Structure 1
Amino acid sequence: MSKHEKFIEIIENGAELLQGELNKDSKFYCISHLDADGVTGAATLTKVIRSHNGQINYRFTHSLRNDLIDSITENQKLFDFLIFCDCGSTSLDYILSKFQNKCILVIDHHKTAQVIPSNEKVAHINPWLVGIDGTQSISAGGLAYLVANRVEKHIEMSPLAVVAAIAEWQDSKGELIGYNDEICQEAEAQKYIKQEEDIRLLGRQTYSMLNLLFISFPVLPSLTADLNACKNFLSSLNINEKQRWIDLEEDKKNQFWEALKSRMKGKLPENIISSLYGTVYTLLKEKEGTMKRDAREFGFLINACGRRGQAKIGLEVCLKSDYETYKRAVDLFEDDTNKLFVGIKDVTDSVNEKENVTYSISDKIEPNLIGTVCSMVLSSRVSDPNKILICLAQTEDKVKFSARCHSPLVKEGINLGDALKKAANIVGGYGGGHTNSGGGYIKMAKFEDFIEELDNIIGLQLKKD
């Protein structure tokens, strides 16, 4: 069989297992990663389960550790079917040892060395199992959609799969590819999604023009976080700073884009500048001028809910259309954004260099923001693009870390998830992730040893002495 045929087979195995338990009126328990990828996947599965009058409860987590799995075993009588969304692949052996009599569905896209289980009560859905790259081709939210759609058609959930892919930066090469693209094409054919060429700054639906620049993502050197510079830039173009991007006439949009390109020349690499304008994904069933209308904004909205400890609100935003739920999520997003920029400033003010690693440690960044801070700093090119970037948030005696690297380094041999796992294990911590991103925890006392080990491991991956 081809990779595609094997992939479809494991999707169908998962759908068959889920369908069988839905017919038995089983009770479901979902353990999901609290980011947009995990939450959209959980929402899609919830839609199918509830359409069969099934009951489902949730546990959202930043990382699936053994102690969390242990805590779930204490409540085994409360559920029949256990779902892991955007997590579980690297912990499958431990999960199976703890839940030997339960049906288990693992939906994950993190790289794993696991094999497809032979147990008929277990379905493991992961593209890496059949040699398909889970970093770019499909997200956990996309996998959940493919499984759910084989139980029964829910094309209206396809936009959430697109949101998941965008939130995972699987459009980093300019557009979605692989199974993500297939899902998007299906959604577009049914008028749920529109692909179009537009500005790719966060906030094109909702931000004022001033905020589009002042709290911009990606970071724009000489504009981001500089209020006077942003005001002067807009004034020079005769653009009202209170207007939104969607309110501008086409000629003003073109004028803005040309001026922004000129402003960024020499401050950002040409490929980064060109990526600021390109394919965007508009959710046509959502109200214009809301964060749910744009796939990237929607992903940021859900992520903010998770980081504020309110992932359930993010899930409700995916399933409901009422203003009250949406407003609660927006309030969390605004609070989250303010804290993000405190973290970004602290990181950029305290960058340290090793041979293969750029790192920054801070006690001012909230641990649940460290991944986003790291992504934003990397995109700003403040750090050396030829090294990995790792940001660390200190809380008492523990350090939570998140690392990122640019795609050319992956082509040169870097597997960041493997490197983080090895370095953290050496110092008694926990780490892992994808080829170009990852995170984990270590003890503060082991911080310097961890950085040294990581630098050495990255050097070996790059075949440096």
Structure 2
Amino acid sequence: MTGNEKGFLERAKAVGETILSFEKALVVHHIDCDGLASGAIAVWALERSGKTVVTHDEKQLSAEALKRVSAKADEKGCNAIVFTDFGSGMIGGVEELAKRFKLAVIDHHKLEQPPSGSVAHVNCEEFGFSGTDSASAASTAYFCFRNRFPDLAPIGIVGAVGDMQDRSGFKDLNALMLREAVDNGFCKVLRDLRMFGRNSRPLVGFIAYSSEPFVPGLSGDEKACALFLQENGIPSRDAEGNWVHYWDLSPELKKKFVGAFVNYCVAKNLAPEVVEGLVGDVYVFPKEDPHTELFDALEYSTLLNACGRHGHAAIGLRVCMNKEGALNEGKALLNEHRAAIRNGLFFARKNFVDLGAFYFLDCREEVSDTVVGVVAGSFLGSGLVERIKPAVAFALDEKGDTKVSARGTLSLVEKGLDLDAALRTSVEGIGFGGGHKVAAGATISKERESEFLRRLKATLRKQGFG
């Protein structure tokens, strides 16, 4: 452990007990996978403790958002508010609500300032851990309630995977959560392909609709994928004519498929780090159906992202809490989400610009502001470009302002990349933003776009890029 584990666990337990003392709470969460997972953990813990819960989601926490939160708490008669996956970065504004509500914050982003005693606050950053890869909001939420509800660990794992904290394997607090989940029989760790659709899609669709990596000659072409399987002696249908999934293959055929796919990627000159990342630790939940998205943490996390980023966060919460019908509703959104990412990736592939310090994707009018960050991350992880610099994308939000999403890799962070610092510096006086070293976002007015790009280029050059 790199930080103060004992201090963190004691704080998390204390914050969890405080939250469970709230009689009627408004749980406010972010819309991405980690926000939904952490929000679901808090909601489910409260409900299972016999408390009344109301939920509310926000794309980002701002002064305007805090006004909406306060108004909803009043409207629903809530005497307490719980923030998950944000709050630390605006702790001053959050503390203003303490005059009228009991408050708690479960977060992993950098703190704006040290919190006062008016808020029950837990954040791994306070205890010497990194919010980038030591703990997500969902894993932090798990530690808040694990003494009473250890079966919430799978949702914590899903949130951390959705926050891309497993790219180099879980560490620190995430590793502790995983170990407890495995010991309790809630999770298994396998060495296997790390690609979306391993379980839920037939083999042909699994390959054809892959975006990480994007494979020239296969991605987007079902006929070419069927031919690839045939040429390598891998069945696409079983004896009854049913489509075969990767999970249905024998160990020998799985090994044959992985070898053929890796060799194909090498032949197509995908970057070595992309090829190396095809196989790694995957996290599966043995109590779930292996042919659904809920069996595999990566697919589960994508399902939650689909719900939150397409305006249906409530469905994502219901999926986490195993509510009837929620999975089928989420699957419909998942199809829309994957299509949006795929279309965005095809657009980025043809239209990206190398600005020296970063790859620039101008996705205004083409990609929604709720998925542009996913597209930027997928672009960088697709193998289409060398992962030697971050990707920065523009989209327009509902007000017509410019949403900025920046994505890097852990290897770039090790070389000095800090997107949180870069964006905070670049938007000073012209917007607002922040996040983590490996991923961050900002909002600026359309009139300040050129100025922002100049500032960002200069800032990233100082970090050693371009």
TM-score range, shorter chain: over 0.9
Which residue of structure 2 lines up, in the alignment, with residue 344 of structure 1? 345
Deviation beyond 4 Å, 4+ runs, structure 1: none
Work out the CA distance in 1 between the residues paired with 2:20 and 2:400: 46
1:321 positional shift: 5.2
Contact kept in structure 1, 2:27 and 2:42, CA below 8 Å? no
Contact kept in structure 2, 1:291 and 1:298, CA below 8 Å? yes
Work out the CA distance in 2 between the residues paired with 1:369 and 1:289: 26
1:320 positional shift: 1.6
User: Structure 2 stretches of 5 or more lacking a match?
Assistant: 237-242
**Which amino acid in the other structure matches residue 311 of structure 1?**
A
The SS at the match of 2:131 is: coil
User: Structure 1 stretches of 5 or more lacking a match?
Assistant: none
Work out the CA distance in 1 between the residues paired with 2:20 and 2:128: 26
Question: Which of the residues 29, 42, 47 maps onto 2:44?
Answer: 47
Contact kept in structure 1, 2:208 and 2:219, CA below 8 Å? yes
**Which amino acid in the other structure matches residue 21 of structure 2?**
G
Contact kept in structure 2, 1:114 and 1:129, CA below 8 Å? no
The SS at the match of 2:189 is: strand
Q: Deviations over 1:223-272 (max 9, x none)?
A: 22233432321121133333110111222111111111111116223332
Work out the CA distance in 2 between the residues paired with 1:331 and 1:308: 11
Work out the CA distance in 1 between the residues paired with 2:143 and 2:410: 27
Question: Which of the residues 169, 173, 185 maps onto 1:179?
Answer: 173
Counting only pairs closer than 5 Å after superposition, residues 410-449 of structure 1 correspond to structure 2 as 410-426=413-429, 428-449=430-451
2:121 counterpart of 1:124: yes
The SS at the match of 1:99 is: helix
Which residue of structure 1 lines up, in the alignment, with residue 60 of structure 2? 63
Counting only pairs closer than 5 Å after superposition, residues 354-433 of structure 1 correspond to structure 2 as 354-362=355-363, 363-394=365-396, 397-426=400-429, 428-433=430-435
The SS at the match of 1:265 is: helix
Relative distance call for 1:364 and 1:75 in structure 2 (3 A) is closer
> What TM-score, normalized to structure 1?
0.93
The SS at the match of 1:359 is: strand
2:143 counterpart of 1:146: yes
Work out the CA distance in 1 between the residues paired with 2:403 and 2:112: 25
Q: Deviations over 1:269-324 (max 9, x none)?
A: 333212211211111111121100111111101110011100100100110253x2
Contact kept in structure 2, 1:358 and 1:384, CA below 8 Å? no
2:166 counterpart of 1:165: no
Q: Deviations over 1:393-440 (max 9, x none)?
A: 2368422221111223212222101211221234x2222110010112
The SS at the match of 2:146 is: helix
Contact kept in structure 1, 2:213 and 2:274, CA below 8 Å? no
The SS at the match of 1:79 is: coil
User: How many residues in Structure 1 have an aligned counterpart in Structure 2?
Assistant: 452
**Which amino acid in the other structure matches residue 45 of structure 2?**
V
Q: Which shows bigger deviation, 285-294 or 176-185?
A: 176-185
Relative distance call for 1:246 and 1:46 in structure 2 (3 A) is same
Work out the CA distance in 1 between the residues paired with 2:411 and 2:192: 26
1:118 positional shift: 2.8
The SS at the match of 2:99 is: coil
Work out the CA distance in 1 between the residues paired with 2:448 and 2:303: 34
2:214 counterpart of 1:212: no
Q: Deviations over 1:62-121 (max 9, x none)?
A: 1111101022223443211111000011101011123323221111111225324233xx
Which residue of structure 1 lines up, in the alignment, with residue 96 of structure 2? 97
Work out the CA distance in 2 between the residues paired with 1:367 and 1:107: 25
Which residue of structure 2 lines up, in the alignment, with residue 334 of structure 1? 335
Q: Deviations over 1:429-454 (max 9, x none)?
A: 22211001011222222222211111
Which residue of structure 1 lines up, in the alignment, with residue 14 of structure 2? 13
Which residue of structure 1 lines up, in the alignment, with residue 133 of structure 2? 136
Q: Deviations over 1:32-66 (max 9, x none)?
A: 01111111111111122112221111111111111
Work out the CA distance in 2 between the residues paired with 1:306 and 1:182: 27
Pairwise CA RMSD: 1.8
The SS at the match of 2:192 is: strand
Contact kept in structure 2, 1:142 and 1:165, CA below 8 Å? yes
The SS at the match of 2:121 is: strand
Q: Deviations over 1:334-388 (max 9, x none)?
A: 1111122111111111111222121010221111110111111010132342221
Contact kept in structure 2, 1:48 and 1:148, CA below 8 Å? yes
Which residue of structure 1 lines up, in the alignment, with residue 309 of structure 2? 307
Work out the CA distance in 2 between the residues paired with 1:81 and 1:31: 11
Identity %: 25
The SS at the match of 1:63 is: coil
Contact kept in structure 1, 2:13 and 2:145, CA below 8 Å? no
